[in-house]
Structure 1
Amino acid sequence: MTTAAETKRGSVHRPLNRGARVFVAGRHGLVGSAVSRHLVQDGFTDVVGPGSTQLDLRDRQAVLDWFASAQPDVVVLAAARVGGIKANATRPVDFLSDNLRIQVNVLDAALLHGVERLLFLGSSCIYPKFAPQPIREEALLTGPLEPTNEAYAIAKIAGVLQVQAVRRQYGLPWICAMPTNLYGPGDNFHPEHSHVLPSLIRRFHQARETGAPGVVNWGSGTARREFLHVDDLARACLCLLEHYDGDEPVNVGTGEDVTIREAAELVAKVVGYEGSVEWDPDQPDGTPRKLLDVSRLRALGWSPHIPLDEGLTGTYAWYREHLAAARAPEVNEGGSAVG
């Protein structure tokens, strides 16, 4: 658990000006859209974030030009190329190259234009595959990564190190958050590139609609995962910007996990699918367990509000309402999550 001394060292009370211009990079993705919604609901009046058709964050000069024109006061870097276990395993070059370019371009532009407050969103996949559970922030770089998503993880680790380097060299109060597996309205339900929960929702929905007698899922179903609703993450982002100033990243999660089998059964119940739930153990499970120690964030006064069953019910309702548009997002409109 996080000690009182550690909590005191990083704790601050520095409310953001609700009239500040906040750039949410990746505003149209799962995480960025939730962060933007929460900021507006909390009184922020100037939340900006052009979509990928207006600003390709992989284009360095375009990013520098945009910062020079927009002059944001605060940056939340939620943009990333993201995907589930299959996408990460089969397209490592895309995940490494795109994420490195997005991060370096945005962080360099923010530094060049004197952005005082910045929050970089990483992912729980940056921790070693066999890190002690629950995983504390200090576990970073203490062991080998999960091979199926190591390219994405390395890119995110590079982002964390760049933020820490800016703190050391320039003294800016930039910070990092490490969310656990995320889900919610606006998720990516692509048949090959989605994370575990939206993938389960899509497959069980299709099975119910077609009357399929069974649904076969990847792996043994025994791997354990922690799931956080994206709206709870959005609340955590604002909490951190206003109450945390430390070198170490801060875990964001529920502190509870379930097996993938339990998650699948819950999704089937929410969807109303009554067929069999089957497993293919020849497919990879990924990291055996990935539960975060969230005591550092809880010490700042934050706690999750949305239980998994309630969150899945709302996410499935969103999926049905947006079925035609439930596709893979553009490269720099993603969120920070790994299935």
Structure 2
Amino acid sequence: MENGAKIFVAGHKGMVGSAIVRRLQSVGYSNLLLRSRSELDLANQADVFEFLRVEKPDYIFLAAAKVGGIHANNTARGEFIYQNLAMETNIIHGAYLAGTSRLLFLGSSCIYPRDCPQPIKEDYLLTGPLEITNEPYAIAKIAGIKMCESYNAQFGTKYVSAMPTNLYGLNDNYDLNNSHVLPALIRKAHEAKERGDKELVVWGSGNPMREFLYVDDVADACVFLMESGVETGLFNVGTGIDITIRELAETVMKVVGFKGEIAFDASKPDGTPRKLMDVGRMRDLGWVAQTGLEDGIARSYRDFLQNVAA
């Protein structure tokens, strides 16, 4: 990307979008187009098309999405498929109409089949049924990937898709009703410590295995992809290392300083048994994640104490 290029970060106030903004600014990009939801409703096609027609960004990072954990995905199924489809189709087609040839689309590892061979390669997309609890969200993200591929094929655009594993970090969502597992555990462990509880209740069996990536690492990967000259394709972004939910809970308890026991609530769903990304494509390009899990959780807990608990 040229210094001085006009860069639109869609979803710049979210966890991933704000990390992308931090990364861009840290390496000298200053001509950033940033619009809050009150300034630009990304689900409104006419407004998005007009914004992109007038501003004509050189590059777009499409980080805007409606996101949540198992409970949110499973109960707001209509909202998840509609809002994500609306935002991504408006921005991708609007970018094409405005002459923006470079775009990076952010997806999610839940696009892959529920019972995927491990680690998950990009080639496994659409080879089996999805995890039912987040199927609407996953289908919306798959549509975005295929839209990028299709526009590249027909119109000669250079739209790339990045599929991050489970993310956490600064600006995360700690609402226990709709957050992901790691921020939920940070909050629950902190509140259990504050109350002097004897145990920490964790959803499910504790046996599922998950991979976690600090959000500033995925931002670094996204900027890396745009700067690398890659013009098309799907790229998994992760650490290539996974742990059980039990081990995750134990690490969170260590960082937070909660000394109690873990109690598993087997009445709650486990979700996908295992979800580990094959990150060989990114490694071959020269990118690897830099933040270790315990260090990332410690940074996240400091952010939680400053911005949520306070």
Category of TM-score, reference length = shorter chain: over 0.9
Deviates more, 1:49-58 or 1:227-236: 49-58
Pair 1:157 & 2:146 matched: no
Pair 1:266 & 2:251 matched: yes
Deviates more, 1:256-265 or 1:235-244: 235-244
Query: Residues 59 and 102 of structure 2 are in contact (CA less than 8 Å); yes or no, is this contact kept in structure 1?
Result: yes
Query: Of the candidates 84, 103, 108, which is equivalent to residue 99 of structure 1?
Result: 84
* 1:122-161 correspondence runs (5 A): 122-161=107-146
Query: Residues 53 and 97 of structure 2 are in contact (CA less than 8 Å); yes or no, is this contact kept in structure 1?
Result: no
Deviates more, 1:237-246 or 1:118-127: 237-246
Corresponding residue of 1:192: 177
Q: Which secondary structure state, in structure 1, belongs to the residue aligned with residue 239 of structure 2?
A: coil
Corresponding residue of 2:268: 283
Q: Which secondary structure state, in structure 2, belongs to the residue aligned with residue 141 of structure 1?
A: coil
* 5+ long unaligned stretches in structure 1: 1-15, 326-339
Query: Of the candidates 166, 169, 173, which is equivalent to residue 181 of structure 1?
Result: 166
How far apart are the structure 1 equivalents of 2:55 and 2:257?
47
Query: Residues 128 and 140 of structure 1 are in contact (CA less than 8 Å); yes or no, is this contact kept in structure 2?
Result: yes
Query: Of the candidates 304, 311, 316, which is equivalent to residue 296 of structure 2?
Result: 311
How far apart are the structure 2 equivalents of 1:169 and 1:130?
33
Higher relative contact order (CA 8 A, sep 6+): 1
Q: Which secondary structure state, in structure 2, belongs to the residue aligned with residue 277 of structure 1?
A: strand
How far apart are the structure 1 equivalents of 2:187 and 2:194?
11
> How far is the alpha carbon of 1:244 from its aligned partner?
4.9
Q: Please give the TM-score of this superposition, normalised by the length of structure 1.
A: 0.90
Corresponding residue of 1:110: 95
> How far is the alpha carbon of 1:246 from its aligned partner?
5.1
Q: Which secondary structure state, in structure 1, belongs to the residue aligned with residue 8 of structure 2?
A: strand
Query: Residues 205 and 270 of structure 2 are in contact (CA less than 8 Å); yes or no, is this contact kept in structure 1?
Result: yes
Report the RMSD for the aligned CA atoms in angstroms: 1.1
Q: Please give the TM-score of this superposition, normalised by the length of structure 2.
A: 0.98
Pair 1:86 & 2:71 matched: yes
How far apart are the structure 2 equivalents of 1:320 and 1:178?
29
Go from structure 1 to structure 2 and tell me whether the alpha carbon gap of 1:108 and 1:324 turns closer, same or farther (over 3 Å shift): farther
Corresponding residue of 1:121: 106
Query: Residues 183 and 197 of structure 1 are in contact (CA less than 8 Å); yes or no, is this contact kept in structure 2?
Result: yes
* 5+ long unaligned stretches in structure 2: none
Query: Of the candidates 16, 19, 25, which is equivalent to residue 4 of structure 2?
Result: 19
Go from structure 1 to structure 2 and tell me whether the alpha carbon gap of 1:324 and 1:58 turns closer, same or farther (over 3 Å shift): farther
* 1:191-270 correspondence runs (5 A): 191-245=176-230, 247-270=232-255
Deviating runs (4+, > 4 A) in structure 1? Answer: none
Question: How many residues of Structure 1 are paired with residues of Structure 2 in the alignment?
Answer: 310
> How far is the alpha carbon of 1:247 from its aligned partner?
4.1
Cα displacement string for residues 64-92 of structure 1 (whole angstroms, at most 9, x for unaligned residues): 12112222110000000000011001111
Corresponding residue of 1:334: none
Query: Residues 137 and 248 of structure 1 are in contact (CA less than 8 Å); yes or no, is this contact kept in structure 2?
Result: no
Query: Residues 174 and 245 of structure 1 are in contact (CA less than 8 Å); yes or no, is this contact kept in structure 2?
Result: no
Q: Which secondary structure state, in structure 2, belongs to the residue aligned with residue 299 of structure 1?
A: helix
